[in-house]
């Protein structure tokens, strides 16, 4: 039997091998883990030998032009149940099976809340101050009585509303298709976009990125926010005008911001974002936990086993 070549992409933490029982696949497979990001221009050369590719969410794009050059590829597994970076239609044309995995869809809310608390409580500045010999140089803020503004009230937005309410915050929300009736069951007040930006002490973005939502927080929107307010984005980089946000922070038109997502990922070493004041950063890790990775990669192994047996599971239709 011919050896089946499998690769696991973007295993940045080098933990994919520990998060699932890859040896269940037997001796007829060869699994290679890529721990470094592969540039789009190098993908054909790096991946052309593989029959099976396991992709981590949307870290690597698989457009039709790339897929047509990966002539050995027969199975593409993505972690999660959807992946807009994969041209599923072309996969279907080429006979490439595309399968997904289960995941915890609400993990990003945990990370978002951690970032909001870090902003209100000056976690990073307090650490830096103390290490520099400064003892209690500034005040933090109470969350109780503050206003949490949610752009988007889907499943993640609803979880965020619960977090805010647990801390006695007032929660308001807006999105293009949101209504007061849809907000009411969650104890959230519906407001217009400009009112949300003008009232909120912290604005958190929870939208799906599309052409209609790109830069849903643009330069003109930032101008409506108060100088004492914070902005947090853990959804997708393109939802916020990154350049305009950096300008607002440099000019002290906002008290601070937190980003887990960026226009270009991985974030380049020379990115201007790295030198902006009052900006808390994390490297797109809202979904990165041991438990979620065990679910991702455990299901990936199952998907490969079932495909080898001729009974693929969790197939993506588009």
Asked about 265 being catalytic, the answer comes back as yes
* Strands across the sheet containing 52-55: 29-33, 4-8, 52-55, 75-78, 97-99
Q: Print burial letters for 230-266: b (CB count within 10 Å at least 16), e (below 16).
A: bbbbbbbbbbbbbebbbbbbeeeebbbbbbbbbeeee
Q: Print burial letters for 180-196: b (CB count within 10 Å at least 16), e (below 16).
A: eeebeebebbbbebeeb
Asked about 45 being catalytic, the answer comes back as no
Q: What's 75-90 look like in SS3?
A: EEEECCCCCCCECHHH
- Of 74, 153, 160, the closest CA to residue 113 belongs to 160
Q: How many CB atoms lie within 10 A of CB 101?
A: 22
Three-state SS for 32?
strand
The alpha-carbon radius of gyration of the chain (Å, integer) is: 22
Distance (Å, whole) CA 6 – CA 50? 6
Distance (Å, whole) CA 176 – CA 153? 11
Asked about 275 being catalytic, the answer comes back as no
- The active-site residue, picked from 214, 250, 265, 314, is 265
Residue 13 phi/psi, 5-degree rounding, is -90, 0
- The active-site residue, picked from 57, 236, 242, 302, is 236
* Strands across the sheet containing 147-151: 189-190, 170-174, 147-151, 202-205, 230-233, 256-259, 279-281
| Contacts of 228 by beta carbon, 8 Å cutoff, 6+ apart | 201, 255
Strands 189-190 and 202-205, by their bridges, are unpaired
- The active-site residue, picked from 284, 302, 314, 317, is 284
Distance (Å, whole) CA 171 – CA 25? 48
Q: Catalytic residue positions?
A: 236, 265, 284
């Amino acid at each position: 039997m011919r050896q089946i070549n499998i690769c696991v992409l973007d295993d940045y933490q080098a933990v994919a091998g520990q998060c699932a029982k890859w040896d269940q696949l037997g001796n007829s497979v060869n699994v290679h883990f890529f721990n470094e990001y592969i540039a789009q221009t190098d993908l054909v050369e790096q991946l052309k030998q593989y029959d099976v590719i396991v992709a981590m969410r949307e870290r690597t794009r698989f457009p039709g032009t790339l897929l047509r050059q990966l002539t050995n590829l027969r199975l593409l597994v993505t972690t999660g149940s959807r992946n807009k970076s994969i041209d599923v239609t072309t996969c279907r044309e080429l006979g490439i099976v595309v399968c997904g995995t289960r995941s915890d869809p609400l993990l990003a809310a945990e990370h978002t809340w951690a970032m909001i608390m870090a902003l209100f409580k000056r976690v990073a500045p307090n650490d830096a101050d103390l290490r520099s010999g400064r003892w209690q140089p500034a005040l933090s803020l109470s969350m109780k009585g503050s206003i949490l503004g949610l752009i988007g009230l889907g499943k993640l937005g609803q979880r965020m509303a619960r977090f805010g309410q647990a801390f006695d915050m007032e929660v308001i929300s807006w999105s293009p298709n949101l209504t007061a009736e849809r907000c009411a069951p969650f104890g959230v007040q519906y407001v217009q976009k400009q009112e949300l930006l003008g009232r909120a002490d912290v604005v958190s973005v929870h939208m799906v990125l599309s052409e209609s939502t790109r830069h849903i927080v643009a330069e003109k929107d930032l101008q409506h926010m108060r100088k004492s307010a914070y902005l947090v984005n853990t959804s997708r980089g393109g939802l916020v005008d990154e350049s305009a946000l950096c300008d607002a922070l440099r000019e002290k038109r906002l008290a601070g911001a937190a980003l887990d997502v960026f226009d270009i990922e991985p974030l380049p070493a020379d990115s201007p974002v790295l030198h902006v004041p009052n900006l808390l950063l994390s490297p797109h890790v809202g979904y990165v936990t041991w438990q979620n990775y065990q679910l991702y990669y455990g299901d990936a192994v199952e998907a490969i086993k079932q495909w080898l047996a001729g009974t693929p599971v969790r197939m993506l239709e588009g």
